[in-house]
Every structure is written in structure tokens, then in C-alpha cells.
């Protein structure tokens, strides 16, 4: 099956890269069996970014390749080597693309400016290595933090053409011919209905005003309910500054006339919604046909009574096109003048007040007692800490318990009536469930700090033996000095002459 040339709605599966795990490593060197932690941090995962490319006009790139996954961050290594970050994936989309979350239907961004971009899948943060986790009380941690998983979601990309004027009307009313007559665009033109299957854009110059005109594929009665092509392309006129009705005055279809065509198209616009405030113009086309010229004189007064300006035109001969072109330019100029000038972006920092932390977690008791209950803890910090913990490492679990205790979760649970052994779940549907085991206090001090590393605080046997030998040596020296007195050696002994020396007794 051939890939279509124009695609204005796609569903895209995006996933940010996972963060690399931190490394738990101890520096090893001769005569230094415990040289301190040297595990590096894991790298951050890459993100998926959508960025506007003014040169694009379709979403066809994502028609087949609808899955994009950013690279993962590399894990940390020993010798203080941090893992590299995953590269971001930048996906280029046309200007006017609207991004929404498929699961919730919430709009995430409207990329209507040439320099707009949005992160649709954030990469996960890398875990800290044990070198970064070392402290005065935990000098050589035997654990590291895990990297976080990247965001994963399905997003809907919906293209809404950014044009100043939208041309609407029945099939074969002459919309494509009008675009070709007043601009350099060359859309497909034929004498059968639904010739135009994709919106066509043309750039029009009227005096010193330049604007764009969009040819929306033909609308029919019931287009807002899915009939014909109108349901797929009505969105393309939502951004237009004005709407021009192109009405065929030379149609031979029974039951059709300019007034009924105008009423039907207006009914479809009202059913679509959001277009009531757009100014309208009416272009009565094909007046080069004799019967059509006579019909214009009959319906022109009725249309003008509705407050609409009427322009009889012929895309074949060019009659009336100059007046219509400048009338459209006037509407565009008025719309642009009414819009406020874009304010220069200002970067405003709002640092939190000293001591102000806010509510960082919530605790709720869930269950009626009959089928059991548990304490549900929710909060960005505790849930992130749980995801970073390696539960196969007892020291890492102890470190998590210390963090939760410092955050005040244990104190909150005790205040709410939790007792040792109660089930505590941290997180949502993928929560981790613990048995509540509060720290035991004695006086004002904790008996044992959970997860504390004792390796550097304990004395190695070799060090003990060396210190015992040193102590024995110094004790022996002190005892000798006490018994025999301190040894004295003359600084400069005088030489003795052999002649003067006394002869020893025989």
C-alpha cells in the first residue's frame, strides 16, 4: 500500500531513555585494601522532543514509523567514572501541530509558532554512585542508587494548517481554482467532485500585505458528523482569521442554489464549533456563465441583508478577483492589528523561602478492617526514592529507611496510629509494600543507624598488631630509661694523647 503524501493526524508511541544505574565500587590499591568509595554516577536517559520545522507541511514521516525510543544513559563505573547521558531525539513537525495525550485526552502543547518545541517523553535520571553517597557517618557505602525509568506514553499529533484565510464550500465550487488564480500555488483542478483530497496553501500579496489562503477540501451536508471529507479537514480552518464562502452559481445539481448552499455550509461550521467570531466573505463564483451572472443579481441582496459582503468572481476570466484579494487583505490586517504584540519572555525565579518545604507526602489509611487495610503513602520524593532503591541490597534498604524517616513519614504514621507490622504501601498501582518497623529510640539517641557502614570504623587485625608492637617498643624504652637512667653522650669528646695516657696497672 502506498504511503499517502499528506497526513494530518497520527498516533505516536514515545519513550524516554532509562537512567543508568550508579556504581558501587571501592578503590583497591596495594597496602590500601579499603581505599574509599569510587563508584561513578549513572548517565541521564535521553528525552523525546518535538520541534517545529517551518518547511514541513505534513506528518507523513510518522505514518509508518510511529514508535520512537530515546537512548538509555550508561551506568557508572569505578574510579569515579560517570556514565554518559543518552542523546535526545528531536522530531520535527509542521507548524500548527497540536499534541495531546491519548490516554487522558489532555492537550500537552500547541506548536503554533516557528520556534516552538515541547518535551513529550522525559528521560530518566541516572542513579548516584557510592562515591556521591558517602558522608561523615557513611564513609564507604556498599550500595548505589538505581537509574529511573524514562516516561512512556502515546501522544496524538494533529495538524491544523496555519493560514489567514480559509476557503470553504461544496465540492467543485472552485476553491482550488481560486487559490491558483490569486497565488503561485498549483493545486489539482478537475471537473469532478472531491478533486482536492488535502488542504492547499497559497501565498497572496495585496499591496503591502502578504497573507496565506487555505483551500479546505469540499464540505457537504453532514460533514461535521463524518460524511464526506469535511470531518477530517474542518480543523484546518480553526486558526484562520477569516472565512470565505466560495459558492458555485453555475451548478446543475437539483435542489441547490447559492442561498441553500450558504445555509448548509454555515450549519456545518456551527456544528463544528469555535468559528462564530470569524468574519465572513461570500465569493459567488463562475459568473462567466450567462445563467450564473443572472443568478448573482437575484441572490446578492438577500446575502447582503445577512451582513455579508458579496464578491462576484470568475476564476476563469479573473473578473472580481482583485476586489476580493484586497478585501481579504483588509480582514487579515484588522485581525493582526487587534492581536496584542507578543511580550518578550522574562525568566522569573521563585526560590522557596528558607524553612518552607510544603507538603511533600500524604498518608491515608485504606481498607475497612474486614479484608485488611494498609497505609498508602504518596509523594514525588518518596516514590522516586523507592524507584531508586535496590531491594536486593540490605544496606540500600536501610538507606531508604533513613531517608523516609528524615522526611517525617515514620513520625506521621505513628501520629495516625500505625503500629509495628502494619502494611505500608508507597506509590500508586505499582506501589512497593513494606511492613512498618519504626526505629527504636533510647533517650534522645537512636540505638543503631540502619544501613550504616562499619567497615572503616572497625580496626583491621594488621593495624592492631602494628599498634601493639609500637606500644610494647615504647614501653620497653621507658622502662630502660627508668632503671639505668637516661643515656648521655658528650656532644664533642676531647681527643686523648697516648703519651699522656696513664699506663695501666699490671
Binding site for GTP, by residue number, is 169-176, 194-198, 215-218, 285-288, 314-316
User: In b/e form, how buried is each residue of 384-416, taking b as 16+ CB within 10 angstroms?
Assistant: ebbbbbbeebebbbbbbbbbbeebebbeebeee
C-alpha cell at 30: 596495594
CA distance 91 to 70: 11
Q: Measured between alpha carbons, how far is residue 379 from residues 267, 320, 415 in Å?
A: 49, 66, 18
C-alpha cell at 255: 435542489
Instruction: Say if strands 209-215 and 242-248 run parallel, antiparallel, or are unpaired.
Output: unpaired
Q: Measured between alpha carbons, how far is residue 322 from residues 210, 214, 309 in Å?
A: 14, 18, 15
Strands (E) in 130-236, as ranges, are 152-159, 165-168, 200-206, 209-215
Q: Which residues are annotated as a binding site for Mg(2+)?
A: 176, 196
Q: Which residues are annotated as a binding site?
A: 169-176, 194-198, 215-218, 285-288, 314-316
C-alpha cell at 210: 502578504
DSSP state of 32: B
CB atoms within 10 A of CB 502: 5
Question: Nearest to residue 64, comparing CAs of 10, 120, 14, 6?
Answer: 10
Please give, one letter per residue, the 3-state secondary structure of 198-253.
Answer: CCEEEEEEECCEEEEEEECCCCCCCHHHCCCCHHHHHHHHCCCCEEEEEEECCCCC
Residue 159, burial from CB neighbour count under 10 angstroms (0-12, 13-18, 19+): buried
What backbone torsions phi and psi does residue 215 show, to the nearest 5 degrees?
-95, 105
CA distance 45 to 40: 16
Strand partners, 67: 13
What backbone torsions phi and psi does residue 78 show, to the nearest 5 degrees?
-70, 175
State the Rg of the chain over Cα.
41
Please report where in the chains the cell 544496606 appears, as a residue. 395
C-alpha cell at 370: 474486614
The count of residues in the chain is 506
Question: Nearest to residue 219, comparing CAs of 231, 210, 211, 209?
Answer: 231
Question: Nearest to residue 315, comparing CAs of 175, 106, 502?
Answer: 175
Strand partners, 244: 167, 281
Instruction: Answer yes or no: are the C-beta atoms of 156 and 102 closer than 8 Å.
Output: yes
Strand partners, 282: 245, 310
Instruction: Answer yes or no: are the C-beta atoms of 325 and 212 closer than 8 Å.
Output: no
C-alpha cell at 68: 520512537
Amino acid at each position: 500500500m502506498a504511503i499517502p503524501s499528506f497526513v494530518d493526524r497520527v498516533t505516536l508511541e514515545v519513550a524516554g531513555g532509562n537512567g543508568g544505574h550508579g556504581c558501587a565500587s571501592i578503590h583497591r590499591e596495594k597496602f590500601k585494601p579499603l581505599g574509599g568509595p569510587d563508584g561513578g554516577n549513572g548517565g541521564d536517559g535521553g528525552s523525546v522532543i518535538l520541534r517545529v520545522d517551518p518547511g514541513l507541511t505534513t506528518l507523513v514521516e510518522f505514518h509508518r514509523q510511529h514508535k520512537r525510543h530515546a537512548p538509555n544513559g550508561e551506568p557508572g563505573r569505578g574510579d569515579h567514572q560517570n556514565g554518559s547521558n543518552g542523546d535526545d531525539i528531536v522530531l520535527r513537525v509542521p507548524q500548527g501541530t497540536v499534541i495531546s495525550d491519548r490516554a487522558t485526552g489532555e492537550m500537552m502543547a500547541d506548536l503554533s509558532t516557528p520556534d516552538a518545541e515541547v518535551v513529550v517523553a522525559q528521560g530518566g535520571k541516572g542513579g548516584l554512585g557510592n562515591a556521591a553517597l558517602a558522608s561523615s557517618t557513611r564513609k564507604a557505602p556498599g550500595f548505589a542508587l538505581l537509574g529511573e525509568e524514562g516516561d512512556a506514553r502515546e501522544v496524538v499529533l494533529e495538524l491544523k494548517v496555519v493560514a489567514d484565510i480559509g476557503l470553504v464550500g461544496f465540492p467543485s465550487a472552485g476553491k482550488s481554482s481560486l487559490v491558483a488564480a490569486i497565488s503561485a500555488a498549483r493545486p489539482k483542478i478537475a471537473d469532478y467532485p472531491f478533486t482536492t483530497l488535502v488542504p492547499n496553501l497559497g501565498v497572496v500579496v495585496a499591496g503591502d500585505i502578504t497573507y496565506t489562503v487555505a483551500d479546505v477540501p469540499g464540505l457537504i451536508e453532514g460533514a461535521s458528523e463524518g460524511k464526506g471529507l469535511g470531518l477530517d479537514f474542518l480543523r484546518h480552518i480553526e486558526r484562520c482569521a477569516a472565512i470565505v464562502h466560495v459558492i458555485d452559481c453555475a451548478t446543475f445539481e437539483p435542489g441547490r442554489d447559492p442561498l441553500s448552499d450558504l445555509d448548509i455550509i454555515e450549519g456545518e461550521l456551527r456544528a463544528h464549533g469555535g468559528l462564530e467570531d470569524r468574519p465572513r466573505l461570500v465569493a459567488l463564483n463562475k459568473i462567466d456563465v450567462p445563467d450564473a451572472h443572472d443568478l448573482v443579481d437575484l441572490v446578492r441582496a438577500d446575502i447582503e441583508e445577512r451582513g455579508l459582503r458579496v464578491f462576484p468572481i470568475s476564476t476563469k476570466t479573473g473578473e472580481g478577483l482583485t476586489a476580493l484579494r484586497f478585501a481579504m487583505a483588509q480582514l487579515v490586517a484588522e485581525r493582526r492589528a487587534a492581536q496584542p504584540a507578543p511580550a518578550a519572555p522574562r525568566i522569573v525565579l521563585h526560590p522557596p523561602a528558607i524553612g518552607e518545604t510544603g507538603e511533600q507526602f500524604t498518608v491515608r489509611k485504606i481498607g475497612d478492617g474486614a479484608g485488611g487495610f494498609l497505609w498508602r503513602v504518596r509523594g514525588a520524593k518518596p516514590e522516586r526514592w523507592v524507584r531508586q532503591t535496590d531491594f536486593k541490597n540490605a544496606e540500600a534498604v536501610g538507606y531508604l529507611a533513613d531517608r523516609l524517616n528524615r522526611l517525617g513519614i515514620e513520625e506521621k504514621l505513628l501520629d495516625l496510629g500505625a503500629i509495628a507490622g502494619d502494611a505500608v504501601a508507597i506509590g500508586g498501582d505499582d506501589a512497593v509494600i513494606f511492613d512498618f518497623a519504626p526505629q527504636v529510640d533510647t533517650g534522645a539517641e537512636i540505638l543503631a543507624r540502619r544501613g550504616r557502614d562499619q567497615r572503616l570504623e572497625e580496626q583491621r587485625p594488621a593495624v592492631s598488631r602494628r599498634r601493639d608492637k609500637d606500644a610494647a617498643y615504647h614501653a620497653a624504652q621507658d622502662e630502660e630509661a627508668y632503671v639505668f637512667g637516661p643515656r648521655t653522650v658528650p656532644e664533642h669528646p676531647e681527643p686523648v694523647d697516648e703519651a699522656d695516657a696513664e699506663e695501666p696497672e699490671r
